[in-house]
Structure 1
Amino acid sequence: MTHHPLVFIDGDQGTTGLQIHERLRDRSDLRLLTLAADERKNTALRAEAVNACDIAILCLPDAAAREAAAAVVNPAVRVIDASSAHRTDPQWVYGFPEMGAAQSARIAGAHRVSNPGCYPTGAIGLLHPLVKAGLIGAHTPITIHAVSGYSGGGRARVEEHEGPAEKSAPAFQLYGLKLDHKHTPEIAQHAGLWQRPFFLPAYGSFRQGIALTIPLLLSHCPPGISGDDLRACLQQHYANAACVEVMDSARTESTEHLDPQAMNGTNQLRLGVFSNAQHGQVLLTAVFDNLGKGASGAAVQNLDLMLGQLAG
């Protein structure tokens, strides 16, 4: 008799959890375990559920995710944490399969996987291969600007833009002005940076999607390095990555605008390298769905690796 793994989504009423549930609910190769609305805050029932499943996906605030992970006493239970609670914890495998040749296998065999943050997915996707190849020094001052759809702010932000007061919701707002955003250590660690990058995020008045940009001076790269070299490095790194695409030079030349919503509804990460040799400037870009490759899609990708259904 075929065993269909039991997957428990803890926090399936939140933005990420709902999307994961949507992606999994019609699959016949697994069983979904969820709690009724009146059971979700029952600590004993949640602990029972998280220890009864094969794989638990935690879609919870950081503190609650730490509590849920600590409540797992069944050694057979494997966990995917979609919060930021364990993303820099060396005891958890970082759930970005495309980071390196061995990362998919590490995720597939892991008992504890930390799903990447939405913004870090784009930033690390761009920086990690270039830092690893020595085309960007680990000591280089890095500035990251990113604009996300308001769903990145969770239920409160969605209510602000879709609730009774939606007409007064801001069209655009910068945040993280204390320069202490929780994603910054995650970016620095997994991109291989030796110093904290400058990270300034923003929300736009669209529901989902991210456009992330990183400006670079070619004078900060090794002598003779061009934008084409940076693009070639990314293309080589992601040559066999089904969920990451790097825009070629022709497409880059013909691109006038970046639409943060261009990859919505997919699990794709689209990277670009725009350069001006005369001015010695390069702009690294990433466009993806903050609810797709930036959250729920990535969690399902990691789940499939852990279930042994994807080779990488």
Structure 2
Amino acid sequence: MAFGVLAVQAAGVAEAESRATARAMATVHYIDFDDRGNPELFYLDWSDGRNSHQTMIQADSERFVQGSVLPIRYDPAEPGGLVFPAEHEDVPPPGDMLRRAPFVVAGVYGLGLVLVLARFLLNWHAAAAAETRWQVRPLVLTYRRRGVRWFSPYLELIPERGARPYYQRVHWDPAFDERAGGMKAQVRVGGWPFRRAVVITGDGTRLWPAARLRRRTPRGWQRSDRPLGQPYWHGPSRVLVASIAGVTASGLLRLDALVYLVPVLALLVGLVCLMWGWYGGQPLYRSPDYPPGVEPRPGPPQNPRGSSPRRGRRKKTPPQNR
């Protein structure tokens, strides 16, 4: 849908440029700078001979200063429409980003489709391997960075008693919550170079890999037991989605680029959901203060007076005569 919306808008910009045959001279009356002090927005004043107009263009060129004059092109039948630079190549025309957006969207989602297809083929190859019976324990790995906490479902696979375990990130399934304590399961391990493990539970549920089979957990990630109870949200963090959407919307509104708002927000939300599913699709549980499913252990009983219960009784000193 976003690709179709952007493609229609890009076609409209191309048509407007083909009709921009009249020329005029525009004066830069104000320049807006970004956080690094580089020019970002140029506000132009110009006239079509009958009415005065003001146009904003986006460019990072340092060639122009306040008061500079540059030639522009516009549609004589619609002077209030889009304005295009007539000569200066370092000033992008209005809609330049919009005309490239459909190709960017097609490239990003095309790459995502290729990655998904590659994962499917690797998982299908692993599912065709011979079965072995291993001990399987569901886990959840967490990673915290800059106030954002990421979750990913994992399986700890132990070939035999005392053997070094393997770790396999998988796509979440309700079977995790039913067997949080561990189980014996059939495991099919694919060959090199992209080794993966497909786990088949007792009721026939297949837990599909979301990454390669590892000998240790990823660096910086903390492992915890599986959560207890039912998840309350099957999707990426709503706070994360709202934050990304809010920052993007504020930036687009600052640029007066309302035409981008709906398709760009749709693309960002789609990409966040795609990444959430790519890393396993771990739902959220109601346990924010402790690792999922782990309750705080009660401490030792405290003496009402504040002394340790293991402390010996104090000897009484005999009273002294005064």
TM-score, normalised with respect to structure 2 = 0.19
More strand by share: 2
TM-score, normalised with respect to structure 1 = 0.19
More helix by share: 1
Larger RCO (alpha carbons 8 Å, 6+ apart): 1
Q: Highest CA radius of gyration, 1 or 2? A: 2
